[in-house]
Amino acid sequence: MPSKTPKFDEALKEVLDNLQPHQKECKECGEEFEIMAEDIEFYKKLQVPPPTLCPRCRLQRRLGQRISFLPIFYKKSCSAPGHTEKIIAYYSEKNPVKVYDDKYYLSDNWEATEFGVNFDVENNFFYNLKNLP
């Protein structure tokens, strides 16, 4: 199957064929980093151009993408009757979701069926899923 980017492939092949181990300046922070022979073989194997950023800046960029997936934690009062302690939860005080401390949650003192939802057996699964409160 022919390549969809033949001009890019030719230019990349030329760059990789002429690439030698050397020091390079990071375009982000200006720090010098080394491109070694092993790195060049790796770039040739993957058919990717050599990096323009140092390893530290590349790591920061990769981890920066991960931030959006990290949860936000809140201090919320335990919802168990007679409990006043604060616990760490995914939900803020404004959210009506009930949260319990571990000791109460793992005990038999609370009724789990209180959180149950009726479903309509006459309709399919996706209809019931869509209509969850």
- For residue 14, the domain's CATH number is 3.90.1280
Residue 28 clears pLDDT 70, i.e. is over it: yes
pLDDT value of position 3? 79
85: left (phi over 0), alpha (psi -120 to 50) or beta: beta
What is the residue range of 123's domain? Answer: 74-130
Number of domain units in the chain: 2
pLDDT value of position 66? 65
- 1 lies in a domain? no
Q: How sure is the predictor about 27, in pLDDT bands with cuts at 50, 70 and 90?
A: very high
Average pLDDT over residues 17-22: 94
d(CA 79, CA 97): 9
Residues 41 and 80 in one domain: no
| Closest alpha carbon to 49 in 32, 33, 31, 35 | 35
Residues 64 and 88 in one domain: no
Residue 91 clears pLDDT 70, i.e. is over it: yes
Residue 7 clears pLDDT 90, i.e. is over it: yes
- 89 lies in a domain? yes
pLDDT value of position 67? 67
CB 111 within 8 A of CB 127: no
Residues 10 and 63 in one domain: yes
d(CA 30, CA 69): 30
Q: How sure is the predictor about 116, in pLDDT bands with cuts at 50, 70 and 90?
A: confident
Q: Over the stretch 41-84, which tens digit does the pLDDT of each residue have? A: 999 999 999 999 999 999 998 887 766 677 889 999 999 999 98
Residues 24 and 47 in one domain: yes
- 17 lies in a domain? yes
Average pLDDT over residues 83-112: 90
Half-sphere exposure of 119 (CA within 13 A, CB side): 11
Least trusted range by pLDDT, from 16-30, 79-93, 104-118:
104-118
Residues 16 and 47 in one domain: yes
Residues 79 and 125 in one domain: yes
| Closest alpha carbon to 52 in 69, 31, 73 | 31
Residues 110 and 59 in one domain: no
pLDDT value of position 32? 96
